[in-house]
Amino acid sequence: MSPKLAYWPIQGRAAPIKMALAYAGVDYQDITYDMGAAEGADNHWGTQKSKLGLAFPNLPWYIDDNVKLTQSNAILRHIGRKNNLFGKNADEASEIDMLIDTSGDILAAIVKMIFDPDFDNLVGKHPEAMEPKFKQLSEYLSGGKKFLLGDSISVADFTMYISLDWHSKLDEGFLAKFPILDNYLKTIKSEPKVKAYLDSDKHFAARCPPFAPGAKVLNK
């Protein structure tokens, strides 16, 4: 039986997981809960969450035979380890952990702002506040690196891609300031399996927003 991944009809926290599954060539069932579904319906999360045998019911969730996981990064790491996308050794795995957390910092800064009622005042200051982090990342990718760990893609690249891609939509001048990061995004996006996912319905790019209702910019 193929694995199951469930989430809301948005990109959100499931986007890096779906990229990893696509790159690994994993055939999975993509389950979507409707934010407006009536209580009692099969696609109503509140109705279904206690029926799945999840230790800590939450979205996204991932079930693969006896493996039942919630927490987006736990799911991503599991997929990475299972599909040889978590480095060649323990040292590389630790570096991937660091990079996943670093991309999480970038994403958290975006999420915090786009849901803030004071968004219009904060958005102008955001690029300057994030510039030191992007300089560090540019330096990390310097020297002709194709991916974060060099020539081999890892699950950290998918979390970083999503965080940087969403930031580029928030700050239109972002990629012009950091050509190394611009090239990095283009390299990942051009990977055939990644491109196929980004063009698919599972990405929700054409018909659904990146985040839940209420986000100020990225949902336009």
Same domain membership, residue 136 and residue 75: no
Please give the backbone phi and psi of residue 178, each rounded to the nearest 5 degrees, phi first.
Answer: -130, 80
Q: How confident is the model at residue 208 (pLDDT cuts 50, 70, 90)?
A: very low
Burial 158-175, CB ≥16 within 10 A → b, else e: bbbbbbbbbbbebbeebb
Sheet architecture: strand order including 67-70: 29-32, 4-7, 61-64, 67-70
The pTM of the full predicted model, rounded to 2 decimals, is 0.90
Cβ 61 vs Cβ 3: under 8 Å: no
Neighbouring CB atoms inside 10 A of 204's CB total 20
Backbone angles phi, psi at 189, to 5 degrees: -65, -30
pLDDT digits (tens, 9 = 90+) for 6-19: 998 888 899 999 99
Residues 65 and 131 in one domain: no
Q: Minimal CA–CA distance to 173: which of 220, 107, 124, 218?
A: 124
How would you class 219 by CB atoms within 10 Å of its CB: exposed for 0-12, middle for 13-18, buried for 19 or more? middle
| Cα atoms found within 13 Å of the Cα of residue 216, Cβ hemisphere only | 15
Asked whether residue 220 is domain-assigned, the answer is no
As a whole number, mean pLDDT of residues 171-181 equals 87
How does pLDDT run across 81-127, given as a tens digit for each residue?
999 999 999 999 999 999 999 999 999 888 888 778 887 888 788 88
- Please tell me whether the peptide bond between 60 and the residue prior to it is cis, using omega within 30 degrees of 0: yes
How many whole angstroms separate alpha carbon 193 and alpha carbon 86?
A: 18
Domain that holds residue 42: 4-83+198-203
Structure tokens at 162: 């999503």
Reply yes or no on whether the pLDDT at 204 is more than 70: no
Domain match, 47 and 13 both = yes
Q: Are residues 66 and 131 in the same domain?
A: no
Q: Is the pLDDT assigned to residue 220 strictly greater than 50?
A: no
Separation of CA 121 from chain center? 27
Is residue 43 domain-shared with residue 108, that is, in the same domain? no
Residues 104 and 76 in one domain: no
Q: Are residues 185 and 95 in the same domain?
A: yes
**Dihedrals φ, ψ of 144, to 5°?**
85, 20
pLDDT of residue 190: 94
Query: Is the pLDDT score of 214 beyond 60?
Result: no
Q: Which residues sit opposite 67 in a β-bridge?
A: 64
Same domain? For 78 and 95 the reply is: no
The mean of the pLDDT values for the chain is: 89
* E strand or H helix that includes residue 184: helix 179-190
Residue 45 pLDDT class (50, 70, 90 cuts): very high
Same domain, 94 and 179: yes
Write the CATH number for 61. Answer: 1.20.1050.130
* pLDDT for residue 202 is more than 80: no
